Every structure is written in C-alpha cells, then in structure tokens.
Structure 1
Amino acid sequence: MKHLNKLFVAVLMAMGLNAHAQDSNNPWAISFGVNAVDTRTSSGSGSGFFDQHFSQPFGVKDNWNILPSLSYIGVSRYVGSGFSVGLQGSVNKIDKYVVFNQPGFGPSDSRGNTVYNPGDLMYYGIDATIKYSFQELIKSKVIDPSLSVGGGYTFFGDSSFGTVNPGVGLTFWFTDAIGLELASRYKWAVGGDRDTNGEPDAPSHFQHTAGLVFKFGGKDTDGDGVYDKDDACPDVAGLKQFNGCPDTDGDGIVDASDACPDVFGLAALNGCPDTDGDGIADKDDACPDVAGLAALKGCPDADGDGVADKDDKCPNEAGPKENGGCPFLDADKDGVLDKDDDCPTVAGPASNRGCPEVTTEALEELKVQARAVYFNSGKATFKTGDKETLARLDAIKEILKNYPNAKFSIEGHTDSDGSDKLNQKLSEDRAAAVMNALIERGISVDNLVSKGFGESQPVASNKTPAGKAQNRRTEIKHIGSKYEGKL
C-alpha cells in the first residue's frame, strides 16, 4: 500500500497541473489499471537497436515486470482537434532484469541474454504526455487509435533519471464515456548517473499499460443526455434526435417549429391536427369537424354557390352571397326581390322598399280607434273593466302590422284642468301606456315613439264639458319609415 500512496500523490499532482483529456463533450478523463515494465533494453549490446528493442515485444514471461494490483492512474484533458494532454503516475516492482550478452551474470533466455532478479527493486514513474487521437479522423465511435509523445521522471531502485517517451495506444469505447485503454511507451533514459563506460546508469525500457478510462466533465444543464455544447435547447429537456429540443406532443416536430406544440399533428401542417382531413389545420378551420374548402376556411358548400353552408340560408339551393346564399325570390309578387323587400310577404311599391304605403283610410281608422281608448280619471291607466278600450288597442295593432317598415307617433293630450306641469306629465304617461300596450301585442318597438303635449293642442273649447272631453285624447300619426336616419 505504501507504493500506491506514492502513486496517488502523483495523481494529485497531475490534477493540480490541470492536465488534459479526451473529447469536447466530456473534456476530462481519468484512467487506472496495471502496468508492465520490460527492461530488455537495459544494455547497449546485442545485434542492433531493433534486435534489442523489438525482437521479443511480447516475451511476457521472460521480460515483463507486472505488479498484480492497481499500478497506474492518470488524468487528462481534451484541448481540441484530437489532441489531449495528460499526466500519469505508475508504480512497479522489478523482478526480471535483462542484460544482453553477459554470460555468467545469471540464467539466460532463449536468445542467450542474461535474466536475473535484482531483488526488491522498486519502480516509480511520473510522465506527462501529449496524445493525438485518430478517432475523429476515422469516424469511429468504438475504436480509438492514438500516438503520443512526452517526457517524465523515473525512480529505478536507487537510480533516478529523466525519460523521453514516444508511444502508441488503442482504446475501445464501450459507451460515450467508458472504455478499455491499452498503451505502450518507449521510455528512453536521459540524464541521471553514468556508469564507468559513460552510459546512463539507468535502463531505457518499454512500459505497457492496460486499464479502464472514464470521461467526465461535460455540462448538461437540462439533464436530457445531450451536452450543452451540442444542445440546441440547453435549458429545456429534449430528445437526442432533435439536438436536445423537446417535442411535447410526440408528433416528430420540435416544439420551436410546431405551430401546435401541445397537440399531435401533421408535418405538412407545421405540427397541427386536421380532424376532418380537408388539408386545413383545425386552428385555421372554421368547420374543423366537417371537410370543406380552403376558400371558405374549411367549411363545406353543398350547393356550390360560394356561401358556406353554415352561413347559407338556402344550403341546398345555389344563390348569390348578397341574397344569403338563396336564389333571388319575390314571394309577394310586388316586383321587389325578397333580398331588397322590407315586407317580403306583403306587396308594396319599390319606392317604399316593397312595403305598402300607409293609406288615408288607415290613418282615419287609427284616429277613430285611438280616440276611443279611455283612461281612469287623472291617471295613465286604462279604464277599469272597459272591454271596448282593449278592443280598440287590438284594432290598432291589426292596422299597424300591415305596415312593418312604417313608423308611428303615439301622442297624448289633456284638457286645461289642472296645472300645465301635471297635464304635461299625464299626457306623456298616457302616450307611453298606449305604446307599451301595442308592443305587448307584437308591434316592434322600432316602429313606435310616444310623446305628450299636455293641454297645448286642444281640438275644442275647454270652456264646455263637451269640449274638454274632446281634448282628452290619444292620437296616432304616421311619421315616416323606421329606417330613416339609419340607411
């Protein structure tokens, strides 16, 4: 464990140096596993450089020193364009030391090189590396080959020396952030103590590592699994296929482009539904449950006259819009089409908008009937129990209904008894009482007005009882059309 403590100290040093990692999504990475030290290159002897260094690259049993526990840990950070920078600490125990062409120095391997156990020779290494990954170049999500170069410092028993470290690596990614990392470095010894021949008193050697690597540090504000740098909607959880943007109604159209984000709809209608299938989105369809025409805002037109059925007074008969979708008719045969006829069921001249003119005979009859309406003395209530008065009101109604566009003035008058103020109020109330009685009988309020003239317009002398009786009267006069002032 004392060796591992030194290793973790090295890792803390590495993290303090703000070392670099694997990719732009998760810029940081940590790796750990086992390392093997191959000292087969410890002497300058042999048949040549390549013979010494590469003749037995996988002579694990004869050449590799492996500590059977966690023996290296490293951190790294991505710097862009496939490059990352990292720092690694490692520990090992050397129990196989290979010397070329030194007979009698110890037991020999199959090539005649001496292999011996130097005893409790501990190995510690701290190495900085610049690595280039080919993963983006080969466009692979699983295989990640790399080349590296760096330098470090190695403690080898009682010796210590610097190294220059070219290397290769291969990582297999199980997920976006977890992988198996294999790497080899040739650690060329430089500096340090020298032997009697002037050679470095330290072995250049290979170091191989195998372990797990974990990437981390990516920011995902909305927690949708899409990193903020790639998330088009970083503050709202969404879907990977939409670059992190949501699709609330699940219709395959992102909410930002969906005109109806809360209702499942069609791509052709910007995500809005079309219940009746007429190609018009429900939100723009005036008749969303019945297939219709775009020109009529999605409403049908059964008779094809250009007037939507919902607005067509004759949905099964073609007719112009100005006639409510009905064909031009003249029901009362007065030469005025129903569309222009204020009285389509009663014949009348065009000069009076198809309504009958108020005749002199009708006015005389109104005069007679109105003057026969009696009130209780000094009041605006009809004379109690007077059936004749009610019959007069009914007769007046029958005359007025023949002139639906005519306007009539109901006027009240009194004799001279009493004050002018009292008589004015009484005349107004009596005229209003007659008007209300006719409205109750079905005459439109638009056809009537009421006025009071008090004692100001006598028709006889107020000096005789007979004259006063004539002056206490109600009159009805034709004053024009109810449309006057509105046309």
Structure 2
Amino acid sequence: MLAMLLVLGYSSANAQDKNNPWQITIGVNAVDAYPSGDGSLFTGGGFASDSFGDEFANVSDHWNILPSLSTISVSKYLNEGFSFGITGSLNKIENWGDKSVNPDVTNDVDDLSYYGLDATIKYNFLEGTTIDPFVGLGGGYTWIDEIGAGTLNGTLGFNLWFNENIGLTVQTSYKHAFEDYLDTHFQHAVGLSIKFGGTDTDGDGIYDKDDACPDVAGLEAFNGCPDTDGDGIEDSKDSCPNEAGTAEFNGCPDSDGDGVADKDDNCPSVAGLKALAGCPDADGDGVTDADDKCPNVAGPAANKGCPWADADNDGVLDKDDKCPKVKGTVANNGCPEVTAAVQATLNEYAKTILFDTGRSSIKSQSEAVLNDIVGILKEYKTATFTVEGHTDSTGSDKTNQKLSESRANSVKDFLVSHGISTSRLSAVGFGEAKPIDSNRTRAGRANNRRVEINLVK
C-alpha cells in the first residue's frame, strides 16, 4: 500500500485540491475514553472524567496506541473547500479510561480489539496554504471486541503540507455513541497524506481545470497559455507571436525605431514616416525616397518627386530627355531605341527604291517608300544611320563602285531634304563587293542592286 501511495504521489506535481481531488492518508491512531465527561454517570467514580476534555493529552495513562499502520482514509474533494471521506481504523485497547475508586468499575481490560469505519464531511478553512486547518462532521460504526454501535463524530485537525502534494495530517475526533454498550470516546490520528488525481495534458505544471490552453504548454502568468517569443505578451494577444516585440505594437517588433511595426513597415530596416508606411522621405516632398527620382530635391508626386516633369513617362526627366515627347529608354537618353524589327523594316523599304538604269536618279514611283523611311527615322531622333549603295556585277568594278556611291548619296540627299539632319546620316558605296544573291541569274542580279539603311551602333 505504501508503494502504491508513493507512485501516486510521484505522478502528481503542482497540485491543488480542486485539481487533485483525491487524498489518501495513512498513519496511526490513538483511542482515549477518559476525557469524554461521562464519569458523572457512575456512582462512586468511574473510568471517565467528570469534565469534558480533562487530561486530554495524558498519553501514557489513557491513550491506546497500536504501534503500526492502524488507520487509512480516502477522501474526494467536492467544491469550495468541502470534501467527503471514508476512514478505516483498528486498535488494541489496554486502558479504557482511568483507575476507578469504584471497585466495580475499572479501566483494566484484556487486549480488546477495536475497529472503526467512519464517513466524514470536512471543510478546509485555508485551502491551498501550508497549514490547512479543517473541521469535520460525520458518523460511523465502531466495534470493540466484536460488539458495535453507531457514533456521531465531530472532527478537528489540520494538514501541514511539505509541498503541494505531500503533507502531514493531525486530527482528533469526538465519537458520541448511541448505545450503552459502547462508551463515548476520542480517537486521535496522525498520518502521511498524499493528494493526486489531477490532469495536466500539456505538462506545463498547470492542471487542465485551471489551464486556459490545456493542450499547449504555457506559463502560469497566462493561465497556462504560451508566449512563444518570450516578449511578455501571450500568443493569443500577440500580433507577432513568433517575433519578440513590445506591448505598444501588440507584441510586434519595430526594428528601425520609427514608430511603425515591422509588419506594417514597407522599409523596416530604415527609419521613416508613419504617413509613408515607415519609409523615409529625405526631401520632404511626400514621395518616398525609393520612388523619388530626385530624392534630395523636393518636387510634386506627379513628377515622381522631381521639380522637373517627365512628359513621356519614360523615366527620363524632360531636362535630360532628348526625346521629351516620345517615350524612350534611359539607356538612350529618353529616346526610343531602334529595334531589330525596325531595322528590318527600313531595309525592306530601302530595297524597293528604284533608280533609272545606269544612273543615280531616283524614279518618281519610289518617293512614297522614301517618305515612309523618313517617317521612321524621325521617330528615332538621336539614332544615326548609314545609307549603303550596292550593284550587281554587270560592268566594270570602277563603274559599279561610282554608281553605288552616287545612288547612296541620292537617297541621303532625299532624306535630308525631307527633314532628317545631315549629322545623322552618312553615305557609302560598296559596288559589287557585297552581293546577297547570285549574279548569274536575272533575279539574283536584281536582288544585288539595292540600297540599305543601317543603324550606326
């Protein structure tokens, strides 16, 4: 039984009565009939004192103590300090009261056996304290040498808890007998008490009955709920439960100290303004530095924070944009770049330019395509081009070279006369040196007689 009690006690920790509802007490008891006050019932003196409680602690003369385990009780906590228990006890009676002056009445008995089975309702005054006094009221049945009678019992005692599970219980009970053949008497007891039976599912030392988060290990300060990041704010109230923060931001951090929590801060590593979601604005123009094309010079948001506009919205301010009204690229100073597709289109047009046979004069039907070329070149105002002339192999090299140069210059002159700056154009002839087809066929020679307009990179 002792081993069982030790196992039960070991399995409990941080118990409270309402959480660990069961209590077992094992110990020894003492029976004393003398202080009952029943002496006046006997003429000429008797075994009991005439005064209730007289010589209450006269252990050597009146108490009957069996020097072994002689009492065990089991109780169940009910509510609000009340508990109900059953106690079983045994003893050996050698002294029943005191020596009597009446020769017919004596306290000398011949090792009578004593058995008691009692039920008690107890009330603990200071539940959960180290010294825990209690009172009890109940009843039971007591046998002395196989003769028994019912009793009404009143109990006083206290628990002295060594920790929250194990303690020492000391109590005394007044047992009033209802039958003449059983005398009213006192029964004292002292024993080791162990409380157990509580459940702590998450093992955090807070029993489920008091644990607001019984399935997750937590802290006593938060009624058993966790504070994962250790910032003093329980997870259920922490907007950032995995990052330590401050109460000001509901448990969230503010790494740059700008008064904007990191979770709401678009620039969490750089101190900024609340109005700009924690991002800085060095020039104070209301445009965050990251979006401000002129971060050190104030300008309107419409101009991306610059005092100068970007009319074509190509990321190059008008003051630096060589094509302020045409969307271009930053790399090309705000002007559009000639793509491979545009280059291919130019040469498709250029190949259709027709000249008078053996001459450099342009036929009138080619003006339309030349005007299309002019339109393309005007879109790319900063790009420079080379007009290249090519012939087939008919005739001498010298003649072909001269003819190719003349034709290239004729095209250049037309383009210049229609608004293309001469600084953007150059002309060169290659004669028959760069054929793109065979000169052995009429179709091949026609392909080789051509003009190309190529971008100068």
Structure 1 distance, partners of 2:314, 2:447, is 46
Please give the secondary structure, in 2, of the residue aligned with 1:98: coil
Which residue of the other structure, out of 173, 181, 187, is the alignment partner of 1:207? 187
Distance of aligned partners of 1:65 and 1:400 in 2 relative to their CA distance in 1, 3 Å threshold: same
Which residue of the other structure, out of 222, 227, 232, is the alignment partner of 2:202? 222
- Aligned residue number for residue 27 of structure 1: 21
State yes or no: 1:162 paired with 2:153: no
* Offset at residue 246 of structure 1 (A): 1.1
Structure 1 distance, partners of 2:134, 2:315, is 91
- Aligned residue number for residue 16 of structure 1: none
2:133 and 2:159 in contact (8 A); partners too: yes
Q: Out of 65-74 and 50-59, give the one that drifted further.
A: 50-59
Structure 1 distance, partners of 2:254, 2:305, is 27
Which residue of the other structure, out of 228, 234, 246, is the alignment partner of 1:266? 246
Deviations 1:42-77 (A, max 9, x none): 783249998432122111122111112211101011
Structure 2 distance, partners of 1:268, 1:281, is 9
- Aligned residue number for residue 121 of structure 2: 130
**Aligned AA for 2:175?**
K
**Equivalent residue runs for 1:223-238 within 5 Å:** 223-238=203-218
- Aligned residue number for residue 118 of structure 1: 109
* Offset at residue 203 of structure 1 (A): 1.7
* Offset at residue 123 of structure 1 (A): 1.0
* Offset at residue 142 of structure 1 (A): 2.0
**Equivalent residue runs for 1:315-334 within 5 Å:** 315-328=295-308
Distance of aligned partners of 1:63 and 1:397 in 2 relative to their CA distance in 1, 3 Å threshold: farther
Structure 1 distance, partners of 2:271, 2:131, is 56
Deviations 1:196-248 (A, max 9, x none): xxxx1222100011112111111211121111111111111111111111111
Q: Which runs of 5+ in 2 are unaligned?
A: 6-15, 43-47, 329-333, 336-345, 355-372, 384-441
- Aligned residue number for residue 75 of structure 2: 76
Structure 1 distance, partners of 2:267, 2:451, is 54
- Aligned residue number for residue 381 of structure 2: 403
* Offset at residue 87 of structure 1 (A): 0.2
TM-score when scaled to structure 2? 0.65
TM-score when scaled to structure 1? 0.61
Distance of aligned partners of 1:71 and 1:351 in 2 relative to their CA distance in 1, 3 Å threshold: closer
Distance of aligned partners of 1:157 and 1:232 in 2 relative to their CA distance in 1, 3 Å threshold: same
Structure 2 distance, partners of 1:210, 1:174, is 15
**Aligned AA for 1:119?**
D
- Aligned residue number for residue 165 of structure 2: 177
1:43 and 1:203 in contact (8 A); partners too: no
1:338 and 1:344 in contact (8 A); partners too: no
1:189 and 1:203 in contact (8 A); partners too: yes
Distance of aligned partners of 1:373 and 1:97 in 2 relative to their CA distance in 1, 3 Å threshold: farther
Distance of aligned partners of 1:474 and 1:55 in 2 relative to their CA distance in 1, 3 Å threshold: farther
1:34 and 1:67 in contact (8 A); partners too: yes
**Equivalent residue runs for 1:243-322 within 5 Å:** 243-322=223-302
- Aligned residue number for residue 89 of structure 2: 90
Deviations 1:272-323 (A, max 9, x none): 1111111222122111111111111111111111111122111111111111
**Aligned AA for 1:283?**
K
Structure 1 distance, partners of 2:382, 2:50, is 123
Structure 1 distance, partners of 2:447, 2:203, is 96
State yes or no: 1:37 paired with 2:31: yes
**Aligned AA for 2:205?**
G
Distance of aligned partners of 1:341 and 1:276 in 2 relative to their CA distance in 1, 3 Å threshold: closer
Structure 1 distance, partners of 2:327, 2:201, is 77
Distance of aligned partners of 1:329 and 1:99 in 2 relative to their CA distance in 1, 3 Å threshold: closer
Please give the secondary structure, in 2, of the residue aligned with 1:126: strand
Q: Number of residue pairs matched?
A: 347
**Aligned AA for 1:403?**
K
2:131 and 2:160 in contact (8 A); partners too: yes
